[in-house]
Amino acid sequence: MHIHKYEKIWLWFGAVCLVGFLSIVGVSAYAMGNQPPSHMETLDPKTATATAPFDKPGLFKKGSKEYEAVMLAQAFTFTPQKLSVPVGSTVTFKVTSTDVVHGFQIPATNVNMMITPGYVSTITQTFTKPGKYLILCNEYCGTGHQVMAVTLEVTA
Ligand code: CUA
């Protein structure tokens, strides 16, 4: 069988591109200690509210502008319902669900997690602009899904 010269060139070009692309994706996904932001810690969803740190959900100061937000996602709200940090703060959100799968999204930021019962989802975000940020559920979780949101205030 004869393969035209240009066809061979383009076949090789395609193969090289594919290998290059997969290498870039494969390496960059795990470069600099990157890992999926969720599902590294597990806990029993039935006893989540009695298990530290979720027995005392809230916002905790960890450094001069560092906070940890321990949050519960439950149909159909988040606990705590109000959070406030000064502008420039870095907040690490640790979230779990006590019932069904919920979402955890802060529009206009990179914060977007799936909250699965039995797992702790963690993500860190620095808030450089003051304002009121909505934390909302973006996974359909039942009849009250559309009201499942709380506010994070970033004060100037
Ligand atoms: Cu929780 Cu939708």
Residue 145 Cα to ligand 1 midpoint, Å, equals 4
Dist CA 141 CA 150 (whole Å) = 16
Return the pLDDT at 26.
81
Q: Which atom of ligand 1 has the smallest separation from the CA of 115? A: 1
Cα–Cα distance measured from residue 89 to residue 98, given in angstroms and rounded to the nearest whole number: 28
Q: Which of 22-26, 30-34, 129-133 has the lowest mean pLDDT?
A: 30-34
CA 78 to chain centre: 15
CA of 29 to the centre of ligand 1 (A): 28
Query: Does ligand 1 come within 6 angstroms of the Cβ of 94?
Result: no
In the reported structure, the alpha carbon of residue 124 is separated from the centroid of ligand 1 by a whole-number distance in angstroms of: 21
pLDDT confidence of residue 35: 57
Query: What's 41-155's CATH class?
Result: mainly beta
List, edge to edge, every strand of the sheet that includes 131-136.
82-86, 149-155, 131-136, 102-105, 112-115
Residue 63 zone, left/alpha/beta (φ > 0; ψ -120 to 50; rest) = beta
- pLDDT tens, residue by residue, 25-77: 888 777 766 655 555 688 888 888 888 899 999 999 999 999 999 999 999 99
> What average pLDDT does the structure give for the chain?
91
